[in-house]
Amino acid sequence: MKRLFFCFSIVVLVSCQKDNGGGDYVPVPENPERFYAGGKTTTFLATSDAFATPAENLTQEEFDKHMDGDLQFEQTFVTAPAPVNSGLGSIFNNSACIACHPRDGRAGFPKDLNARGGLLLRTSLAGATSKGAPIAVPGFGTQIQNHAVHGYEAEASYSVRFEESTETLADGTKVSLRKPIFALKDTYKEFPAEAMLSARLATPVFGLGLLEAIPETDLLASQDIDDADGDGISGKANLVWDPSLKKEVVGRFGWKANVGTVLVQSAGAYHDDMGITSYVFPDEHCEGQENCQDNSTGSPEVSDEILNTVAFYCRTLAVPAPRDIDDPTVLKGEQLFSQIDCAKCHTPKQRSGPADVAALSNQNFYPYTDLLLHDMGESMADGRPDFLADGNEWRTRPLWGIGLTKLINGHTEFLHDGRARNITEAILWHGGEAQVSKEKFKALPKTDRDALLAFLNSL
């Protein structure tokens, strides 16, 4: 029903374009294709389930597999031995995928940092392994697990303080910003002072199969590493070691694009976030960590089938359609988004190539990301390199679905560490290559800022 309505309104809009003579100019979407933010996977649900809906174009068999994966995404793991979902820990951050990705969406900035939540701290020493990966901190690895099963000690507790600052917009509006500075307390052994920490908040997991199916050659061709076009914006693909394919691939997932595939991201989540081994990461994350024990029984704690199914689930979640895209204010905001250079990194349109799942193949879709790394300036820097991403660089976040965050997750906390409390704050944290774009935003009159926000909230 919903879908019919949308098709109908596209027809009406196209005809409006021809006979709006006399009245105010009402721009119409130049591109009705944009209704289908996820190509044929798109869902027109705009409810609290909008991030958790199967792609519209799956076969029955794929749909069934997706639903199996849905179940796995929700499973809570427990201490071994147990008849099902055994093997949590011994040290971990949380016990279920859904616990960090609520409603397949975004975790909020935790009210209690050490309750089980969706924020985790990565760590490493300076330098890189022979594969280009971050160097593990002896006794702590590359992620700080702040929970442990009974009889073991967590590596540390997280602590945070905030640095407050104020940005003043051209019309005098003042916006206060907070920057969280994280540290560790109660470490189970001495934590080296020179070790780096990087906070990461769990992101939505829909639409990922489409992002995964953008041909590598297209991503590499869209780079502008030396800023040859002189616009102050250089994009760089991350190149990462893939432990499953055993080769270097273009990084696409995570805030620094440090993982190439949804499969490896999922296996990494089981391994590092939950302490669960799989065929991709067969060894417990215990090496050199006295507080941790390999409690697996020799075979992976999560079966190959479950790992593959949970990855399939994330790959085949539908993308929610934008709303109100024919609203004049939203259309004005869409123009501004290009005019003030947001679209230079948040590339509106991408196209997938052939994929093993037909539903994901050869789709035009609208993620608003180039999947490339950009220097976002000192104030956003974590100072922790991850493969080719240096301490200032972050992957352009997709903006699809961002306007549904409040409805689905009950908050509007954005950026890698959740420092922004709304979209305006998120924009004001942009620096480095995005500094000029940010300044253009600050110079806009309020009506234009509101139009830009209306556009972002329509996504």
Contact residues for ligand HEC (CB under 6 A)?
Answer: 93-94, 97, 99-101, 118, 120, 200-203, 205, 208, 233, 253-255, 262, 265-266, 269-270, 273-274, 310, 314, 340-342, 344-346, 374, 376, 394-397, 414-416, 423, 426-427, 430, 433-434, 437, 441
CB nearer ligand HEC, residue 10 or residue 147: 147
10 or 370: CB nearest ligand HEC: 370
Nearer to ligand HEC (CB atom), residue 57 or residue 198 = 198
User: Closer to ligand HEC at the Cβ: 326 or 433?
Assistant: 433
Nearer to ligand HEC, 29 or 254 (CB): 254
Q: Are 430 and 342 in contact (CB under 8 A)?
A: no
Sequential DSSP letters for 31-73: -GGGG-TTGGG-B---STTTTS-B-TT--HHHHHHHHHHHHHH
Q: Report, in Å, the least distance between residue 332 CB and ligand HEC.
A: 14
Query: What gap in Å lies between CA 250 and CA 422, rounded to an integer?
Result: 31
CB atoms within 10 A of CB 229: 10
- Least Å from the CB of residue 1 to ligand HEC: 31
Nearest alpha carbon to residue 145 among 94, 97, 104: 94
Cβ at position 242, least distance to ligand HEC in Å: 14
The C-alpha atoms of residue 145 and residue 373 are separated, in whole angstroms, by 27
Is the distance from CB of 366 to CB of 343 less than 8 angstroms? Answer: no
What span, in angstroms and rounded, lies between the C-alpha atoms of 450 and 459?
15
Please, what is the minimum distance in Å from the beta carbon of residue 447 to ligand HEC?
16
Report the residue number, 58 or 428, with the smaller CB distance to ligand HEC.
428
Least distance to ligand HEC, CB of residue 285, Å: 13
> Which letter does DSSP use for residue 102 in this model?
G
Minimum CB separation of residue 378 from ligand HEC in Å reads: 13
In 300-433 the beta strands, taken as DSSP E runs, fall at 350-351, 364-365, 373-375, 393-395
Cβ neighbours of residue 34 closer than 8 Å, sequence gap 6 or more? 322, 325, 348, 366
